[in-house]
Amino acid sequence: MGENGGAWERLLALRHHGGTAPAQRGEALTAALVDLYLPFAQIPRGRRFAVAHLGQSLDGRIATAAGASRWVTGEADLIHTHRMRALADAIIVGSSTIRHDNPQLTVRRCCGPHPVRVVVDAERRLGAGHCVFHDPSAPTLLLAAADRVRPGERLGHAELVGLKRGAHGFAPADIAAALAERGLFFLFIEGGGITISRFLAAGALDRLQITVAPILLGSGKPSLTLPEIAAPEQGLRPTLRRFRLGQDTLYECVFRD
Ligand SMILES: NC(=O)c1ccc[n+]([C@@H]2O[C@H](COP(=O)([O-])OP(=O)(O)OC[C@H]3O[C@@H](n4cnc5c(N)ncnc54)[C@H](OP(=O)(O)O)[C@@H]3O)[C@@H](O)[C@H]2O)c1
C-alpha cells in the first residue's frame, strides 16, 4: 500500500510525472501529509522554485560551535527533509556543511528519487574525500569560481561548474540560472545558515522552512544572518504555515506562491 495509504507515492508521482492529487480527506495523518506536501507536488515541471530548510534550537542555533549538528531536530524532521529531497530536482549545500557533516544527501528515509547534489565551494577548499564526491548514488555538481575550474575538470565523480563570483560570492540568481540550464528547476537548499541567508537576502527563496526543536544550545552556529535593520517593524513578516513534526514545530514562510 505504501506510505500513508499510498498518499506519499501519489504526491511523488504528481510532482515527477503528472497525475492526480491524493484526497485531502481521510485519516488525520494522510490529511496532514497532503496538506504539507501538495503545494510542492503541484509545482509545474520547468518552473523555477527554491525552498530552503533549517533545523534549529529554540535559541536559533543550527549546530554547536565545533559544527556538530546531529541531531538538533528529531526523527520526524529528518523524514521531512528526505521527503523534500525526493520532491526536488537538486539539493544545494554550502562547503562548510560538507566539511562538518560529510552528508550523503540521498533519499533514504522515504521512497523517492535522489536529487542532483550541488555543493557551493567558490574557492575550491574541499578535497575529493567527501562522500558526495565519490558516492555514485546520485550525480554531484560542484559550483566553483570560473577562474578555479579547468575545462572538463572533475572532483571525484563530481562535475565542476564555473560561475562568476562577486564581492559576496555567487549571486543566488546566477546559481539558479546555471542549474536551470541543466534542467534543474526545483531547488531544495538544505544549509547551512550562511548559504540559506544569502538566498534569503537576495530575495531568491519562494519558501523557507524552519523547524524549531525544544532545545537550547546556548552557543553555536547561527541559523539566519541578514543585513542589519534599524527597527523590528523592518523585519520580514511572511505568510506562515505551521506543522507539528513530533516534538518539533515546522514554520514555513511563504514568500511567493
Ligand atoms: N541544523 C541544520 O538544519 C543544518 C543544516 C545544514 C548544516 N548544518 C550545520 O551548519 C554548519 C554549516 O553551516 P554554515 O552556515 O556555517 O555554512 P554553510 O552554509 O554550510 O557553508 C557556507 C560556505 O559555503 C560557501 N558558500 C555558500 N553560499 C555561497 C555563495 N552564494 N557564493 C559563494 N560561496 C558560497 C562559502 O564558502 P567559502 O567561505 O569557503 O567560500 C561559505 O562560507 C555545520 O556545522 C553543519 O553541521 C546544520
Distance CA 36, CA 252 (A): 10
The partner residues of 143 in beta bridges, in order of sequence, read 120, 161
Q: So what's the pLDDT on residue 250?
A: 98
142 touches 127 (CB < 8 A): no
For the chain, the domain total comes to 2
The answer on 150 and 187 residing in a single domain is yes
Q: So what's the pLDDT on residue 220?
A: 98
Q: Is the CB of 162 under 6 A from ligand 1?
A: no
DSSP string for residues in 41-74 = HTSPTT--EEEEEEEEETTSEEE-TT---TTSS-
Give Cβ neighbours of residue 238 (< 8 Å, ≥ 6 apart).
208, 253, 254, 255
Q: C-alpha grid cell for residue 45? A: 515541471
Q: So what's the pLDDT on residue 31?
A: 86
The answer on 212 and 86 residing in a single domain is yes
Cis amide leading into 60 (omega within 30): no
Q: Where are the alpha helices (DSSP H) in 149-191?
A: 172-181
CA of 68 to the centre of ligand 1 (A): 13
Q: Is the CB of 54 under 6 A from ligand 1?
A: yes
The residue segments making up the domain with residue 30 are: 1-42
Distance CA 132, CA 126 (A): 11
The answer on 132 and 106 residing in a single domain is yes
Q: Is the CB of 169 under 6 A from ligand 1?
A: yes
CA of 245 to the centre of ligand 1 (A): 25
> Residue 206 class from Cβ within 10 Å (0-12 exposed, 13-18 middle, 19+ buried)?
buried
Can you tell me which atom of ligand 1 is nearest the CA of 223?
15
The answer on 128 and 50 residing in a single domain is yes
Q: So what's the pLDDT on residue 1?
A: 58
The answer on 80 and 6 residing in a single domain is no
The answer on 9 and 55 residing in a single domain is no
Q: So what's the pLDDT on residue 176?
A: 98
Distance CA 142, CA 117 (A): 8
Q: Is the CB of 256 under 6 A from ligand 1?
A: no
For the chain (257 residues), the mean pLDDT of every run of 10, in chain order, is 82 91 73 94 95 98 97 97 98 98 97 98 97 97 97 96 95 98 98 97 98 98 97 97 97 96
Question: For residue 132, what are the CA distances in angstroms to 120, 129, 152, 169, 257?
Answer: 12, 9, 18, 22, 32
Choosing from 125, 170, 195 the residue with most ligand 1 atoms within 8 A of its CB, the one to mutate for a pocket test is 195
The answer on 121 and 8 residing in a single domain is no
Q: Is the CB of 110 under 6 A from ligand 1?
A: no
CA of 211 to the centre of ligand 1 (A): 18
CA of 174 to the centre of ligand 1 (A): 18
Cis amide leading into 71 (omega within 30): yes
69 touches 103 (CB < 8 A): no
Q: Is the CB of 194 under 6 A from ligand 1?
A: yes
Q: How many helices (H) and strands (E) does the chain have?
A: 7, 12
Model confidence, pTM: 0.97
CA of 97 to the centre of ligand 1 (A): 5
CA of 195 to the centre of ligand 1 (A): 5
Q: So what's the pLDDT on residue 53?
A: 98
The answer on 16 and 53 residing in a single domain is no
Residue 96, SS3?
helix
CA of 124 to the centre of ligand 1 (A): 14
The answer on 142 and 216 residing in a single domain is yes
The answer on 244 and 166 residing in a single domain is yes
Q: Is the CB of 193 under 6 A from ligand 1?
A: yes
Q: C-alpha grid cell for residue 7? A: 498518499
Q: So what's the pLDDT on residue 252?
A: 98
The answer on 35 and 49 residing in a single domain is no
Reported as half-sphere exposure (CB side, CA atoms, 13 A), residue 252 has a value of: 20
Residue 250, domain CATH? 3.40.430.10
225 touches 193 (CB < 8 A): yes
> Closest by alpha carbon to 9, among 153, 59, 19, 195?
19
The answer on 3 and 91 residing in a single domain is no
